[in-house]
Amino acid sequence: MMSCSDYDYIEIVCMYRYPIAITLASGVQLECIARDTKRDEQKRECIQVDNQGELQLIVLDELRTLEVLVDNPHFTKVTFNR
């Protein structure tokens, strides 16, 4: 489960709909736009992203890194330790 302080990063990127680069536990890397937080059919917490015009849910527990691809006053990159 993601900590509250880590979850804050997810909320920030969704609130501002930042373009982001994420790395998953599997090593897959993805550039997309953060949209919202949701739960999938298995009730897992997810981030909803716009991946080239297609909405996709990514399970938060699968995230390893999150990088904002534009200048902003909040943060640049965060690594999730599990």
**Residue ranges in 1-82 assigned as alpha helix (H):** 4-16
SS3 69: coil
Give the domains, in start order, of the chain with CATH numbers.
4-79 (2.30.30.720)
Residue 78 one-letter amino acid: V
Q: Binning pLDDT at 50, 70 and 90, where does residue 64 land?
A: very high
- State residue 81's pLDDT score: 83
CA 82 to chain centre: 15
Q: From the CB of residue 41, how many other CB atoms can be counted at a distance below 10 Å?
A: 6
- pTM equals 0.93
- State residue 76's pLDDT score: 98
Q: Region 50-71: what's the mean pLDDT?
A: 98
- State residue 57's pLDDT score: 99
